[in-house]
Amino acid sequence: MILLQAEHISKAYGIETILQDISLQVQTGERVGLVGVNGAGKSTLMKILAGELSCDSGTIRKPKDVTIGYLAQDSGLESERTIWEELLSVFAHLQEEERELRRLEALMGDEQVLADEKRYRQIAESYAQLSEAFREHGGYSYEASIRGVLSGLRFSALDVDTPIHTLSGGQKTRLALGKLLLQSPDLLLLDEPTNYLDIETLSWLEQYLLGYKGAVLVVSHDRYFLDKLVTVIYEIERAKATRYVGNYSQYLEQKAAQIEQAQQQYERQQEEIARLEDFIARNIARASTTRRAQSRRKLLDKMERLEKPMTQTKAAHFRFAIARASGNDVLKVEQLRIGYPDHPLAQNISFTIEREERVALVGPNGIGK
């Protein structure tokens, strides 16, 4: 089943074309990656698919009963509620069903209802139906689901009664992601969801999305994340989209093969053009061969010229020159204490960095990196 289909989407800002004739689709259960260089139009396309931005031309199609959840890049959750209250609001419908179950239970224990066999049977049947629906919708596990998401996104150490407006920007972004996961829409549109995630949280998100019942369309620059998660790649390049089946590494292999094939076709055509032009130049003025030369010219005029393949996109290059080499000891830290006056983050930190070393600083969010 196709959950979302975009057909011939175009978008421009002034004279600059961002997207041109973009078509893509997401089917039930698919994990789709959307890739491209910065400024290629990925976030613009995601906003159009989510209904937050209009396109200049084209059509977005989705079944009426399909639900879509969208997480914009660096979109933090803003709320006056506490963490627990905000996430619990996702399950307001289950809380209402739970209150109705308690009401029916009270009625079934009422003496007047017990004395009326017909009424009791009607209430008991309503209770059984509602109880089954409540169970199927996760009514007995939604609080555990909230705790699981909070733990996976590393909120365990934080009091769930903490007001959201007191959280950092990164925490608000993670909480927005958590709320969206709990809402469990049929299709998740995630724009750079790995921002502000440490290694452990990223690993948890990978596993969560792999087991997610709905479909996922994700924008990410993290090739390892895409390798583990997606099975389809759409690349936006020069305002157009190309579909590849496979993960990110397989997409790179397919694209390299396509470029090589296109380059070979281009070179063969250039050789043919040169051969025809040479024949025309040598024979057009001779009476005995002018007809053949004219025939070659018509052939050349009708030929559909191939564009030269773009073998690689432009990239920035940096070079840091040094006046002289440093000593062997570049940085030495002894017994460092970091944090705030009433809240130390870490202490007794000692390390040395030597010349030509490449050092990674890792650890969970909020630990003081």
Spatial strand order in the sheet of 68-71: 68-71, 187-191, 215-219, 31-35, 232-237, 240-245
- State whether residue 119 is helix, strand or coil: helix
Report whether 194 contacts 205 (CB < 8 A).
yes
Residue 185 has pLDDT above 90, yes or no: yes
Q: Whole-model pTM? A: 0.80
Q: Are 164 and 78 in contact (CB under 8 A)?
A: yes
Q: What percent of the chain has pLDDT over 90?
A: 56
Highest-confidence segment of 20-29, 294-303, 310-319, 337-346:
20-29
82-137 per-position pLDDT tens digit: 999 999 999 999 999 999 999 998 988 888 888 888 988 998 998 999 999 888 88
- Rounded average pLDDT over 230-249: 92
The mean pLDDT value for 281-303 works out to 86
Q: What would the mean pLDDT of 147-171 be, rounded to a whole number?
A: 89
Higher pLDDT, 315 or 335: 335
Which positions ≥6 away from 177 have C-beta within 8 Å? 71, 153, 190, 193, 205
Q: Following DSSP, what letter does each residue of 185-226 receive, concatenated?
A: -SEEEEESTTTT--HHHHHHHHHHHHT-SSEEEEE-S-HHHH
